[in-house]
Amino acid sequence: MTAVQSADSLVPLAVLLPFVGALLIPLFRRRPNLREGVTLLTATALCLAVFGLLGPVLGGARPETQLVAVAPGLLLAFKVEPLGMLFALVASSLWIVNSIYSIGYMRANNEPRQTGFYVCFAVALGSTMGIAFAKNLFTLFLFYELLTLSTYPLVAHKRDAAAIRGGRIYLLLLLGSSLALFLPAILATWVLAGTLDFTPGGILAGKAGAPVIGMLLALYVFGIGKAALMPLHFWLPAAMVAPTPVSALLHAVAVVKAGVFCVLKIAVLIFGVETLSDLGQSAWLSAVAGVTVLGASIIALRQDNLKRRLAYSTVSQLSYIVLGVAILAPISIIGAAMHLVAHAVGKITLFFAAGSIYTASHLTEVSQLDGIGRRMPWTMGAFTIGALGMIGLPPTAGFLGKWFMLTGAIATAHWLAVAIIVFSTLLNAAYFLPIVYRAFFRESAAGEHGGEAPWPIVVALTLTGAATVAMFFLPGLPHALARLTIGM
């Protein structure tokens, strides 16, 4: 078997592995240690499989495989291109860290229904891999919906009235927007282009005029509710009722990144950057993204609940990526791809810290955090690094993405975008730095009691915190994949 063939067969393996894990986990429901062992083993195997694909992809190969033709034009097929590779790398490696964290969190908080929790998690990761490696819009859509359905029970995990309500908003908004807007957009694409395959340069060039392309783009960006563009962002704060590991991996990484990943991929590989800029579709998309960036930041300022503040920060940060796409300069798209990774690592750190605080001292509000940094130095140290990443300060990965986007915006004279990025950076600082200040420089009102959370939690957040810094100094891999995305 040649290297290319073995890479081809790795693709379906990578998508299937988490589903196999999901089937195995319930077998060990009476033996929690073995059960979590299965999760860790699956996550590690998945990560290895994804890394196995990295070499061929960097070498210029595009491993692909077709499973079944559902109907004319509807093919269940996978193809690994650089952007998907990047997304899969981030999601699969963070799954390992998040699993370690979950073990600490779920046990320390005595959460019920842990077997179902780990099963849904595995299915969600399998769906994420399906989205990352989808060769066409149909496959993408299939796994997109599966991701929504598999994360719904996780959002409603607590089963109390608030959780059920949060789950309802989550399901109705994500499933509803995808059925009402995303699906018609796919249909229209099929009718216009006669294909649904992701193709470098896009498939819609010359197929329709500016109004139709504009409508279609709108259907896509709003139909992909997971990208959380305003006004379809409500589901994300509502999803914060979930246990923190869910918020951390799914609602800071897998689900929301799947959303912006879809937007990025559709803009580059369905519309094509040139088609979009020729037809002048950048202005309104920048405006929507800009409103979301600023609007969500302003709302975040006013949130006292830590997880909700983080959620609004996510809404805002996601729209940076959409903004990076809307600028339509190659370098800004590289920036968008870089930011996708940087935000993932940084935001998961922040959520890990929030969960760590909750586990150790059951605090959920920002105003309760006076002096917590002295009791939980590791947690708040990692939180600080994550916060710096969100603001976009060196030496964190967050700086790189913003730098590239800013360069792209200046190069193409998108002064509005420049203004949005600069102003929102100030806002980011305004809602993150006070938390850091409180934690380290204010006297604790409750006195000195309690310490760090259980060790798996601390290990996990230290790892991701370190990764945020490491990526600043070693950005080679994401940068290389991001450059390949736009064909450089």
Partner 1 sequence: MTTVLPHLPALQVVIPLLGAVLCALLRRPAPAFGLALAVSWLMPVIAAALLWQVIQGGPISYHMGGWAPPWGIEYRVDLLNGFVLLLVAAVGAAIMPFAWHSVGFEIDEGRRAWFYCMYLLCLAGLLGIAITGDAFNAFVFLEISSLSSYVLIALGRDRRALLASFQYLVMGTIGATFYVIGVGFLYLLTGSLNMVDIAQRLGPAWAEHPRAIVAALAFVSAGVGLKLALFPLHVWLPNAYAHAPSWVTVFLSATATKVAIYLLIRFYFSIFGVAIAFDTLPIAQIVIALSIAAMVIASLIAVFESDVKRMLAYSSVAQIGYITLGIGLANQAGLTGGLVHVFNHAVMKAALFLAIGAVFYRAGTVNLAELSGIGRKMPVTLAVFTIAGFGLVGTPGTAGFISKWYLALGALDQGWWVLVLVIVGSSLIAMVYVGRVLEIAWLREPTPAIARASDPPLPMLLPILLLGAATIYFGIDTQWSAGIAEASAQALLGGLR
Site for partner 1 in 274-313 (CB under 8 A): none
Task: Report in angstroms how near the CB of residue 245 gets to partner 1 at its nearest.
Answer: 20
Which of 440, 435, 450, 443 lies closest to 361 in space, CA to CA?
450
Cα–Cα distance, 30 to 32 (Å, whole number): 6
Of 1 and 68, the one with the shorter C-beta distance to partner 1 is: 68
Site string for partner 1, 155-194 (x = CB under 8 A): -x--x---xx--xx--xx--xx--xx--xx--xx-xx---
Q: Is 426 in the site for partner 1 (CB under 8 A)?
A: no
Site for partner 1 in 190-219 (CB under 8 A): 190-191
Q: Is 413 in the site for partner 1 (CB under 8 A)?
A: no
Q: Is 145 in the site for partner 1 (CB under 8 A)?
A: yes
Task: Report in angstroms how near the CB of residue 213 gets to partner 1 at its nearest.
Answer: 16
Of 153 and 237, the one with the shorter C-beta distance to partner 1 is: 153
Task: Report in angstroms how near the CB of residue 443 gets to partner 1 at its nearest.
Answer: 43
Q: Is 23 in the site for partner 1 (CB under 8 A)?
A: no
Q: Contact at 8 Å (CB) between 65 and 23?
A: no
Of 1 and 71, the one with the shorter C-beta distance to partner 1 is: 71
Q: Is 153 in the site for partner 1 (CB under 8 A)?
A: yes
Site string for partner 1, 105-144 (x = CB under 8 A): ---------------------------------x--xx--
Q: Is 146 in the site for partner 1 (CB under 8 A)?
A: yes
Q: Is 488 in the site for partner 1 (CB under 8 A)?
A: no
Site string for partner 1, 33-72 (x = CB under 8 A): -----------------------------------x-xx-
Task: Report in angstroms how near the CB of residue 113 gets to partner 1 at its nearest.
Answer: 10
Of 69 and 488, the one with the shorter C-beta distance to partner 1 is: 69
Task: Report in angstroms how near the CB of residue 35 gets to partner 1 at its nearest.
Answer: 18
Tell me the backbone φ, ψ of residue 474, rounded to 5 degrees. -125, 65
Site string for partner 1, 339-368 (x = CB under 8 A): ------------------------------
Cα–Cα distance, 22 to 184 (Å, whole number): 32
Site string for partner 1, 462-481 (x = CB under 8 A): --------------------
- Burial label for 188, CB within 10 Å (0-12, 13-18, 19+), is middle
* Total interface residues for partner 1 by CB under 8 A: 30
Binding site for partner 1 (CB under 8 A): 68, 70-71, 74, 76, 138, 141-142, 145-146, 149, 153, 156, 159, 163-164, 167-168, 171-172, 175-176, 179-180, 183-184, 187-188, 190-191
